[in-house]
Structure 1
């Protein structure tokens, strides 16, 4: 890897991007590589103090302070229906992503390179991919001998929001009415 002063990023030496190429930041989660659009990735950081959120769905890990800003942190493995026991790590690494002006943190295992992919490399999503997961992907690409699925951050956050609303409705249903039992 070499450091390119012109783009302030570490990357393998590549030629200039073609107009149709898009850049994706690769993350690893439970031995799987997933791509995130570079324009939504804001930072990568270690999570020190995570504050749990009562009544939050299982996908919400808690809240974290990121440079003075309170950020919702998500268990990305749970959001993608991956077995959380396979990747339990003591050190928590997160990638900060921005969507509609809000920043969220996604707990991951590791980061990788930024890759440029062309629409010519787009393939149909393989049949073995869970249909629920397919709805959270913006595309699947062949990169050499490897396969890269691109996460649709907006779709992921919409699904977590729906889950949060359902959890809240369920908790209200089971809670006693105000003033009951007096």
Structure 2
């Protein structure tokens, strides 16, 4: 069975990844692929969270450091290990790669198990959160890709 973007069966499925041992999720409809971390070319005068660009199967794709975008402590570039991944995402006809510490699984989270984000917390970060999913003993921060990729 081929996966169709917008397929009802995929509506509640999320690609999970880690940043600083916390679980995050992106709707699977926005994820094109997950790639091993690779060398990139820096882009002059780009915002600090733009790592650079990569050539992926003949396409030049900008890469965002998700840690910097979310105001988390950044990992030194020499500490990118074999678990680091680039999640290739698509939103509003933009294809962007996001660097993450690791990507683990695809998980279905029912709507009733997703709470709205709390109003407390750092404003810069909260605007990127769509909700908090619950799966057994863990909480998964579900990111709003459209807001995350909005050009400032």
Supply the distance in 2 between the matched residues of 1:127 and 1:104 (Cα, whole angstroms). 28
After superposition, give the CA deviation of every residue in 1:56-89 in whole Å (9 maximum; x if it has no partner).
1110000100110000000000011100048962
Task: Return the alpha-carbon distance in structure 2 between the equivalents of residues 128 and 101 of structure 1.
Answer: 32
Distance 1:87 1:31 in 2: 18
| Structure 1 length-normalised TM | 0.71
Q: 2:77 matched to 1:57?
A: no
- C-alpha separation in 2, matches of 1:40 and 1:116: 15
Higher helix share: 1
* Kept in 1: contact 2:86–2:97 (CA 8 A): yes
- Structure 2 residue 15 is matched with structure 1 residue 25: yes
Number of aligned residue pairs: give it: 146
Higher mean displacement: 30-39 or 46-55: 46-55
Question: For residues 158-173 of structure 1, what are the structure 2 equivalents within 5 Å?
Answer: 158=150, 161-162=151-152
- Displacement, 1:20? 10
**CA 1:105–1:119 in structure 2 vs 1: closer, same or farther (change >3 Å)?**
same
Residues in 2 aligned to 1:99 and 1:129: alpha-carbon distance in whole angstroms: 26
Q: Which residue of 2 is the match for residue 11 of structure 1?
A: none
Identify unmatched segments of 5+ residues in structure 2. none
Post-superposition CA distance 1:160-181 (Å, at most 9, x none): x20xxxxxxxxxxxxxxxxxxx
Per the alignment, in what secondary structure is the counterpart of residue 70 of structure 1? strand
Identify which of structures 1 and 2 has the higher relative contact order when contacts are C-alpha pairs closer than 8 Å and 6+ apart: 2
Match of 1:138 among 122, 130, 140: 130
Q: Deviations over 1:110-132 (max 9, x none)?
A: 11111111111122424664222
CA distance in 1, matches of 2:34, 2:120: 30
The runs of at least 4 aligned residues of structure 1 exceeding 6 Å deviation read: 18-21
Matched, 1:46 2:36: yes
2:94 to 95, 102, 109: 102
For structure 1, the residue ranges without an aligned partner over 5 or more in a row are 1-5, 9-17, 163-182
